[in-house]
Structure 1
Amino acid sequence: MDFGFTAEDQVFRTEARDWLSEHASVGIDRRSWERTLGKGGWIGLGWSEGGYGNRTASLTQQVAWAEEYARSSAPPRSGHIGENLLAPTLVAHGTDEQKARFLPAIAAGDELWCQGYSEPGAGSDLAGIRTKAERGSDGVYRVTGQKIWTSLAHESDWCFVLARTEPDSVRHHGLSFLLVAMDQPGRIEVRPIRQLTGTSEFNEVFFDGAHARVEHVVGGAGDGWRVAMSLLGFERGVSTLAQQVGFAAELGRVVAAAVESGAVDDPVVRERLVRQWAELRVMRWNALRTLRSSGDAGASSVAKLLWGGWHQRLGELAMQVRGPAAGVGPVGWSSSAPYELDPFQHLFLFSRADTIYGGSDQVQRTIIAERVLGLPKEPKGVV
């Protein structure tokens, strides 16, 4: 596709850059920042539904905003799960009442969301989930089960939960997509998961009879798998291009370190640096080429395969460039407090999970094989 930025897009980009420069401040808490974005009208640029407090923007303008945000010193987003995953899912599958209830609060930055998909026994194999939701005579579902690797659950107001609502159903049958309020003391418990980096963005979430109202079932009872798969298609797209801006900055720091340390004189290191640069350019052009196919399982799976492995290799290259200093242990480590890592150590350790979370490489290859190439389906074990 011919993906060029028009003069109007450049004006939009300049407006976005100037606004971020004026409003993004170091130290602002993430919830306050989401509300600042909401007041500025910068949440929900890609929604096809109007009237919910979000300004409209063309696809190229959405890319411009995402890239300028990635280049700025703005805080990490807490509202991206609600804005980029739940909102387009509600636009596609939600009722008018659901849209009116939830979209304005997301657009204003007032309500933050997390995603209740993976479970201890059903991570990449999402169809194997066991969390149950039983509907009572009062029209309320009681959700019981455990979710894991739930990003930002500790600061979220709501969680969209994939649960089994039909007793004795198996695999992708009998699932429903529920909207569950997180403020239910005694019914929901969030436990942070400490990662290799010492931080805890991920959580375990335990549901013990948590309530979900029947009118908060998206797409209808028993049709959760279709809704869930639709949502996963929104997980790539414009955000991939913004992610690549961050990747380019990380690569630039690795190149600078290689020059400073003299590691760049090693022809093997030079070859790896050039390869990383070239592969990043390929990823950008691939993302631009497939941008309008958001929701295409094949395109999103290819993108995930590309960036997951690329980022892992960058972390390994960063360690190679650091040389002996890369092996220096964390500073100030204790069992009760996060330890300190330099940026390259953090890059290396965090990127080890890149080929697992969001759908492992093996799962992405299976999706491409079965849904794009039409190969025979992989045999499943006995359920």
Structure 2
Amino acid sequence: MHCGTLRKANMAAACVRRLGKVGRCFLETRSGTISYLLGNVGAHGSRRAYSTGEPGFRSKLLTSVRAGAGSALGCAFLLGGGLGLYQTVKLSVQQHLADEDRKDNGASFQVSGDGLKLTLYQYKTCPFCSKVRAFLDYYGLEYDIVEVNPVMRQEIKWSSYRKVPILMVDGELQLNDSSVIISSIRTFMTNKEKKMSDIVRCYPEMKSLNERGKEVMEYNNKYWLMLSEAETGALYPEKGMQNFCPREEMKWRQWADDWLVHLISPNVYRTTGEALASFDYIVREGKFGTVEGFFAKYVGAAAMFIISKRLKSRHNLQDDVRQDLYKAVNDWVAAVGKSRKFMGGDQPNLADLAVFGVLRVMEGLEAFDDMMKNTKVKFWYRRMERATLNHEGQSQSPSNH
């Protein structure tokens, strides 16, 4: 038997052994694998059919989710399989630094317009990764992408930071957290004197406990650009707006992270049909093996359908989660206002890019089409789409440091 096939068989066997033990724990697990399942779209918004898999499977799945005690075992089987995959990952992935691994994973480096060599480690459908891509694309910064397998994560085994996005700068400096990546690169583009290594020190890591008592890593100052008064004035040249514009920009960047992103999962996994449509695309576009793809599509769809209901309760969303999405998007459009093309005025600012990056992961799905039909976001969204595809911010990038 081929060694790759044997590894997959062993992984599947490990999953089966864990089925009876870990179903309940899955709902409490927050991992890189789950964050991968928050969104669903390619970088340029290709349209996808709403495939829901075998019709018989869909009705059986819905029945098992809603039934009484007899179906609880079936639900635990599905959820346990998902966690079995995750636990297999944790046991198999070794955390160590190895530059040669990055080379083996195909992370070649291109020189960007500002002299940086950038490589983005990502999940294609992750909203936080989409934010970073929107930023890099708008400013015309060249970068390579390494698509990370969301189960094994071998591509980032060299990193002690187990999430994406990760941006490697010049093959040496590692930037974590989407907002830190964006703030530090934008600071570097504006500040003519500081090196990237000096800028990153302005965003120190800080461990804290979340609302569930779990230790999480946060980053101080992540919505701030580390600029002098003169540099801030050059970035926000409108008279009398040097104080208001940065505050407004930071407020809505944080809103995108703290609120908007939490509306994606309950909306794209709102029904079993929508959940299967999402995972059908994820499996085809993501970096999955055969066994992993099967579990991701069917186990993942069932798990995320249930988890999305829990997220709806946690974030106090309405029974019709579409209404919360519509309100959030219309709040954003109202904040941009009728007199501006973008929140940044004639050009997008970092808040525009953040909101666009988050919303973009729903493209091709029912939730996205409903949002475009039932809110006022369409014209702003299409302007953002053109701005990023055409790299319209490239003229704002300074020459090499």
TM class by shorter chain equals under 0.3
Normalised to the residue count of structure 1, the TM-score between the two structures is 0.25
* Bigger relative CO (Cα 8 Å, ≥ 6 apart): 2
